[in-house]
Chains A and B, each alone.
Chain A
Amino acid sequence: MTDQRPDNPLQRRNFLKKTGAVGATVTLASFAGCAGDGDGDGDDTDTETVAGGGGDDTVQMEGFQVPSENVVPQSDLDDAQAIPELTLIVNPPDAQPDDHETSMFVSEEIAKLGLDTTVETMTWPSQSSTVWDGTDWDMTFWQMVGRPSRLDPDEFSVQMGHSSFQEGYNYYFWEDDEYDEKVMAQREELDQDTREQLIKECQQIFHDRGPSTFLMYPQKTIPWNSERWDGVVELNGMGAVNMLTFSNIEPTGDRTELNIAYDQELQALNPFDQSGEIDMIQHRMIWDRLAWPNESALPEPRLAEEFNWKDDTTLEVPIKQGHTFHDGEPVTAEDVKYSYNIHRDYSTYFSGPVEPVNEITVVDDHTVEFSFDYHFAPFPMAAMGRIAIIPKHKWTDIIENKMDVDSPMLYQEDEPLGSGPMEFVHWKSSEEVRLERFDDHFDPIAYEARNSRIIPSVQTMLTQLENGTLDMLANYRGDKDVLKDRVESNDSLSMAATTTVGFKQISYNNDRPPFHIDGFRRAMNHRFDKETIVNDIYSGWGRSPRTAWSPPHWRAGTTTSSSATSSACRPRRTSSSRPGSSGTRATGCSTCPPTTPKSATNPLHFELLWD
């Protein structure tokens, strides 16, 4: 899509003060449009350089060379053409100090362009509401976290780019017809290589148009007690806290309960909702899915025996026989159909991924068949890896008599019932969630119980890990250098630092001047030194981006645990000793040498697009 408002020679008067270009000024649209081709190396502008500013042919600004044809006399501008003061929304410093500092840095960089910018702090709910539900905002700092479903590029690329998601993750009101076409085409593409090519083309368009600026791909740092526990799996793009870890982990001694710390309260234990980062693992322990990702982030059958594409639009899924829910009732194809139909019939967190499903048919007691309107390539990860299989015999009554069907995501079972490897025991608000082993599961776990403890203080959770009360910190948000030092000084502990598919970005309101101008957004993109942000603000615990959507994305194969620029403590990898396990395990080490990124060895790596 081209710019709908081409006649916006927006400008601030104080450009002149910055540039020293007396008697001339620059139209932002044109100025930004010359900022480069996207690689940020600054070598590809088609301008002449006149250092010192104020020459006849170009104007030199901080970091930019502006062609003289883009310079217009100041007298040609009026007040209506002035850019108003811009506001950048971010959470308060106590929530994520580094994010706030990054926003301050970004604000200062924008100021160097001669634009007045204010950083406005809001709590997450306020920020979310302002950005999601409103249009009255300019820029926002935003973070997307890595989730299993996001291991397939479909979720990010469609939901954050397609114009139909402007009330969703495309909250920055970006539209591009070509992008829309390609990103939907990848969904229907049968050939994996072609699909990948389409995704890369989408990345290219996204990068060229720059609806938001990717600042970094953060590393997730997970410390755990490796003296007591073996078998932590570092899932590519997700980190060590994932379903494979909690399925594979086993005690080395006589410890039978796994104690994990989270710094926030669980949001819900509702099979139709999974909005909280903390909720995800609990969900997958209580409720089985037809699929879940392997260590390469590819979907693998879980409750399903296999995925059998009978033709382009028909998927037959036999499920494991003899499996039961925690109350002893058998898990049947009827339960699977029922579970999926709820998302088709009511509005839930997962209604989107089942939209292409035309019909679900029970073939026999243990086989279900999905018919699609078109071939939906991401279905195994986007739907089968996410949708919980719930017991029809329990939920029929709930839906008919207890639940508000207009808001299924708000219903909370007193005792959530699933068929997963762990049974729900209790949820003590602000204290802990306790799950116990379901002995009859087809993939039984090696420990008896899992206690998810809510510990809001970073120092307290770290001390509890060190003194043995806790076994793992699932979302440590403190200083990662401190964590690394403490782990290295304790022989019992190990740490995995993994670049995730999540990212941090500055999003622009593309529907609002001056961000409706492609070139202006690109100029902003090049203004921010991502290396400085990653290395100086985040102390190297992340990776600077060269592409939209995260580096360890999709079909990345087995990689090292990290591509960090810092010398994080790295786990050694050993092959799994557990029968039937497909996971790659990370085991502890106390003297870890710095590692180098291995991503370049992967021919399917997204990042190669820019290499």
Chain B
Amino acid sequence: MGLKEFVTRRIIQIVVLYFAIATMLFFLFRAAPGDPLAAYIGTGFTEEQAAQIRATFGLDQPLHVQYWKYMTSLVTFNFGLSYITGDPVWGIIQDRIWNTLVLMGTSVVLAYLIGVPFGAYLAWNRGTKRERFGVVFALISRSAPVFWTGLLGIWIFSFKLGWLPAGSMSQPGVTYSSKLAQFTSPSFLRHLILPALVQAFYFYSLPALLMRNSMLEVMNEDFVDFAELKGISDFAVMLKHAARNALLPIVTAFAVAAGFAVGGSVVLETVFAWPGLGREMVRAVIANDYPVAQATFLILAGLVLIANFLADLAYGYLDPRITYD
């Protein structure tokens, strides 16, 4: 099977999976007790008004009709209207997607910048106390829940040391002319440091341990011994020969990690009052704002699916020995 066939097959799989997830979400949310419009239809509404509002949202239709409309709307990325505000869902979440992508993108990049050299260092120091300590430290950081490390980070860097802001995305009262202006402002970057570091602290162990294992395999290869025999310095051998060839699984894992990073934004965004997609998802679920909740779930699921797809592609591209059969 060639690349074209592989891509076509994977895209079909992704589309089927995506619609299966969408179907599951549709029925799961409707299985929840209570009227989803309870928050929207206040006590001041008459029966007629309430019925009219239900009709506006299509909730007066039979379930299969609602389902059909929902699925056909998804094709055009029309997620409907929020049950709480009545605003288009896409308008509500598009701002938050960028906030989440910037935070999680930064933390994943940081995690790789720290984790990859750290993993290489551990492998190179195989069998030493430094390696053992490093592995234990990596496992501890992977085991520590983000809400705990987040609060610890706030306590140390915001409360005790006063170096960094304790959450939020900007100083009170500040507005920006555009998202770009906001993301490049010193105030935003200062607010970004702590949550990005906290998440990177959780993420870095994955590339670190992967890199370590991969390096250990590579270090047994003949070309490493040959490089050492040529008299090349240890550092150069590690960096230019061993690490470079050990990077393959790390690169492919990056795509998967990036997808899961976006999905894992819920806790981090709540702790740091970061107005992102994860926090919006929590709010929507608690408020029974099904259209927004469904949309956030679907977007997060879509990002994970796409990331996995890219990882598959990258793997085959980077290692010619891999075939698409």
Which residues of A are at the interface with B, using a C-beta cutoff of 8 A? Answer: 95, 122-130, 132-133, 167-169, 257, 259, 265, 267, 273, 275, 347-351, 406-407, 409-410, 412, 426, 428-432, 434, 449, 451, 453-457, 459-461, 463-464, 466-467, 469
Contact = CB atoms under 8 A, between A and B. Distances in A.
B166 A453 contact: no
B283 interface: yes
Contacts of B95: 429
Nearest to B32: A126
B49 A463 contact: no
B44 interface: yes
A201 B318 CA distance: 83
B33 A126 contact: yes
A208 to B, nearest CB: 27
A130 B270 CA distance: 28
Contact of A457 (B92, B270, B285): B270
Given A430-B96, A455-B273, A460-B273, A273 B42 contact: yes
Contacts of B151: 457, 459-460
B44 A469 contact: no
B115 interface: no
A407 B165 contact: no
A126 B38 contact: yes
B167 A457 contact: yes
A467 B39 contact: no
Between B46, B86, B273, the greatest number of chain A beta carbons within 10 A of the residue's beta carbon is seen for B273
B250 interface: no
Contact of B283 (A126, A351, A426, A430): A430
A457 B282 CA distance: 13
Interface stretch (B9-17, B168-176, B220-228): B168-176
A259 B273 CA distance: 15
B271 interface: yes
A347 to B, nearest CB: 5
A129 B154 contact: no
Contact of B36 (A125, A169, A257, A456): A125
Contacts of A348: 44
B43 interface: yes
Contact of B172 (A95, A167, A257, A456): A257
B272 A460 contact: yes
The 10 A-B pairs of least Cβ separation, nearest first, read A126-B34, A129-B34, A129-B38, A129-B35, A430-B275, A451-B172, A125-B288, A463-B166, A460-B167, A455-B273
A429 B138 CA distance: 37
Contact of B287 (A125, A169, A350, A454): A125
Contacts of A456: 270, 273, 279, 282
A467 B158 contact: yes
B175 A463 contact: no
Contacts of B273: 453-457, 460-461
A122 B34 CA distance: 9
Contacts of B158: 463-464, 467
Nearest to A259: B172
B167 A122 contact: no
Contacts of B271: 457, 459-460
B172 to A, nearest CB: 4
A350 B44 CA distance: 8
B223 to A, nearest CB: 51
Interface in B139-181: 151, 154-155, 158-159, 162, 165-170, 172-173, 175
Given A122-B33, A460-B272, A351 B44 contact: yes
B7 to A, nearest CB: 38
A52 B85 CA distance: 60
B34 A125 contact: yes
Given A273-B42, A455-B273, 19 more contacts: A95-B286, A123-B34, A125-B39, A126-B32, A128-B34, A129-B33, A168-B43, A259-B173, A275-B42, A347-B46, A409-B44, A410-B86, A428-B275, A431-B170, A432-B173, A455-B168, A456-B282, A459-B151, A460-B273
